[in-house]
Amino acid sequence: MGEMGLRERKKQRMYQDVSDIAVRLFLERGFDAVSVAEVAAAAGISKPTLFRYFPAKEDLVLHRIADHETEAARVADGEADPVDALRRHFLAGLERRDPVTGLNDHPGVLAFHRLLYGTPSLVARAYAHQERSEAALAEALGGDLAARLAAAQIIAVQRVLALENWRRIAAGEPVAEVAPDAVAAAERAFRRLAEGLPELRGQGM
């Protein structure tokens, strides 16, 4: 058990280290200007080894948000009111300035988001990430068509809220000024979700 745990930790460290090296190179020179071979060389591994960890070049960047892929599903799973649980979770993310909410002005976070949203192939890959988030949440909500429709709405709301926050901050607005609007927008959006998805309440009881 201990050996397997160590092996898994080493594997996760490899993922993180290679992703960090790749993102640094992409930020310095642009995503399209850096080859996978250059990333592998900078990381001290072979190109085939890199592709065993990251099947696509875009995955080197998306690894940074990979742990959020099943976040909504984990939050909603077993909750009597999953929409309210997700609302509270999103608001808590705003409060702690979680980068995934877009409400973060750290230079590194802003640079990463510019790379992500400014590169068409990364935007396309991010949609695949969103689809997997929807699928995981739909499964947590019951897995039927109604659950899939609800999951699509919830994930879309979270994405649009975060993108709006990031756009305002990237345009130069201070976090302190954006924050109250971000909270109010999230409250309105989740209230409308709750009104439109009353069938979800009580399902986790």
Location of structure tokens 């209230």: 191
- pLDDT at residue 1, as a whole number: 43
Report pLDDT digits (tens) over 114-170: 999 899 999 999 888 899 999 999 999 999 999 999 999 999 999 999 999 999 999
CA distance 39 to 102: 27
Whether residue 94 contacts residue 101, with contact meaning beta carbons closer than 8 Å, is answered with: yes
Structure tokens at 132: 């997997």
Cα dihedral value 65, 167, 132, 127, nearest 10: -110
CA distance 64 to 15: 10
pLDDT above 90 (res 22): yes
Sequence-distant (6+) residues with CB within 8 A of 98 are 104
- pLDDT at residue 85, as a whole number: 97
- pLDDT at residue 202, as a whole number: 63
Q: Which letter does DSSP use for residue 2 in this model?
A: H
> What is the band of 205 on the pLDDT scale with cuts at 50, 70, 90?
very low
- pLDDT at residue 192, as a whole number: 96
Letter for the amino acid at 200? L
The per-residue pLDDT of the chain, averaged, comes to: 92
| Total-model pTM | 0.85
Kindly state the average pLDDT of the residues 52-69: 90
Location of structure tokens 């690894």: 63
- pLDDT at residue 203, as a whole number: 59
Of how many residues is the chain composed? 205
Q: What percent of the chain has pLDDT over 90?
A: 82
Report pLDDT digits (tens) over 26-42: 999 999 999 999 999 99
Report the largest interatomic distance among the alpha carbons of the chain, rounded to a whole angstrom: 53
